[in-house]
Amino acid sequence: MGEKLFVGKYTFEQIVHKFSDTVTGICVMRLQNIADSEDCYQNVFYKLYYKSPEFESEEHLKAWIIRVTIHECASYMRKNRRQIPNDKINNEYITFDDSDSHDISWALMKTPKKYREVLYLYYYEQYKVREIAVILDTKENTVKSLLKRGREILKSVYGGEMN
């Protein structure tokens, strides 16, 4: 019997490779701690492997992974109830895809948590407002408001325009 394929074409290892940066980014943005992020990262892919849900498309798979990552981080925070302040994070170990010369990851880490997730999904994962609303199970207007306020905070931290 062959290896299980996701979306009819990806092996588990290919999925981990393809979505590793996405899961890492969300975990770091939410938990702001490398060790905790690594734990959640492992849990997300553990759940994918052992639950092996069926997916209609690659977009459906990605949305599932993002939702599970967000829920896993929230669960982890509830269980552990400890937060490390931003200034205690060793940023040299936090890396994001910096193909964009205007990397905002350091500024994003300084925004309040409620804006960080929406900004991350918008700027790093390049989701549209409607898609973010579905992923986060919230209203589009809420996402728009969080983006607007989050951009204002980023402008003050980053010192530039956010598109």
- The answer on pLDDT for 17 being more than 90 is yes
pLDDT higher for 141 or 77?
141
Decide: pTM greater than 0.75: no
What mean pLDDT comes out for the span 94-121?
Answer: 67
- Quick one: tokens of 1? 């019997």
Q: Which CATH architecture has domain 1-95?
A: Orthogonal Bundle (1.10)
CB 158 within 8 A of CB 109: no
Indicate the CATH number for domain 98-163: 1.10.10.10
Domain spans in the chain, listed from the N-terminal domain onward: 1-95, 98-163
- The answer on pLDDT for 135 being more than 80 is yes
| Distance, CA of 95 to CA of 157 (rounded, Å) | 19
Percentage of the chain exceeding pLDDT 70: 79
Distance of CA 72 to the CA centre of its chain: 11
What is the residue-averaged pLDDT of the chain? Answer: 80
- The answer on pLDDT for 123 being more than 50 is yes
